[in-house]
Structure 1
Amino acid sequence: MTRTIEIVDYDPAWPDTFAGLSSALAAALGPLALRIEHVGSTSVPGLGAKPIIDLDVIIESPRLLPLVVEALGTLGYSHEGNGGIPGREAFGREGAT
């Protein structure tokens, strides 16, 4: 199966989209989230990108992961595992922007 990747021109709304997502995540995670960072190509002003907002949630310890999975689940995110990268955990959301 061939998958097409769409790269679009930079959208000046991406920082605001991230801010909205970050606020929702911060509210759901509370003190579990030490930081929430906008990462990936949509975080670079002026750069064309896949129109998907990537973000990192920094937590204190991997032992908190079950609580994070539960909290993010309330927002429609599903835990996708570490993708073969130790220390990393990925989440996705249907229809994510």
Structure 2
Amino acid sequence: MRIIKVVPYQDEWINKFQEEALKIKEIFGDQLLEIHHIGSTSVPGLKAKPIIDIIPVVKNIDEIDLFNEEMEAFGYEVRGELGIPGRRYFPKGGENRSHHVHVFQIGDENIKRHLAFRDYLIAYPGVAKEYADLKEILASKFENHPESYWEGKENFIKETEMKALNFYSKN
């Protein structure tokens, strides 16, 4: 069973992203156009679940299925779209997740949505603190119930995402 635990920001998260990005570049080769660190671990000072979220941006999402065995060799599970059309999702670490890789094709709106949310939290530390506080409360309340934890964050994320997309389009 997965346990939800929010911890203080750790500088090592940047290094963990960079290490994993090198592996992903090696696997996807010429298909890879960009790679981004997203999620709470990408926001300096933000408390987070210690799971590194990564978005590789690729030329052709359908070609990514050809790399499933190589991703498995690096410890990733192959989960396909998992409810988000046009995505390929690869978690790593089983019940003690360490990484989530969300692969999208260039131009997919989900890329902008994730980058906007990250950049907005970086630009507005007060909003980032509100988010951290909410996550801590939810994690203590729903430590053994990941679905309830996610549901508790949903409204905050949606509202902040709208503001973030507006902010992102102006910058």
Same fold, TM-score > 0.5, yes or no: yes
Larger radius of gyration: 2
Retained in 2: the 8 A contact 1:29–1:72?
no
1:64 partner SS: helix
Point out the structure with the larger strand share. Answer: 1
- Which residue is 2:64 aligned to? 65
- The within-5 A match list for 1:2-13 is 4-13=3-12
Retained in 2: the 8 A contact 1:32–1:68?
no
- Which residue is 1:15 aligned to? 14
Paired with 2:67 and 2:58, the residues of 1 have a C-alpha distance of: 9
TM score, norm. by length of structure 1:
0.86
Query: Residue 39 of structure 1 aligns to which amino acid in structure 2?
Result: I
- The within-5 A match list for 1:10-89 is 10-89=9-88
1:81 partner SS: coil
* Percentage of pairs with the same residue: 38
Q: Which runs of 5+ in 2 are unaligned?
A: 99-171
In angstroms, what is the RMSD of aligned CA positions? 1.8
Paired with 1:25 and 1:68, the residues of 2 have a C-alpha distance of: 10
Deviation at 1:67, TM superposition (A): 1.9
Count of aligned pairs between the two proteins: 96
Point out the structure with the larger helix share. Answer: 2
Query: Residue 80 of structure 1 aligns to which amino acid in structure 2?
Result: R
Paired with 2:50 and 2:62, the residues of 1 have a C-alpha distance of: 32
Deviation at 1:73, TM superposition (A): 2.3
Deviation at 1:57, TM superposition (A): 1.1
Query: Residue 57 of structure 2 aligns to which amino acid in structure 1?
Result: I
CA displacement 1:1-49 (0-9 Å, x = unmatched): 8x54100000011111111111111122211211111010000000000
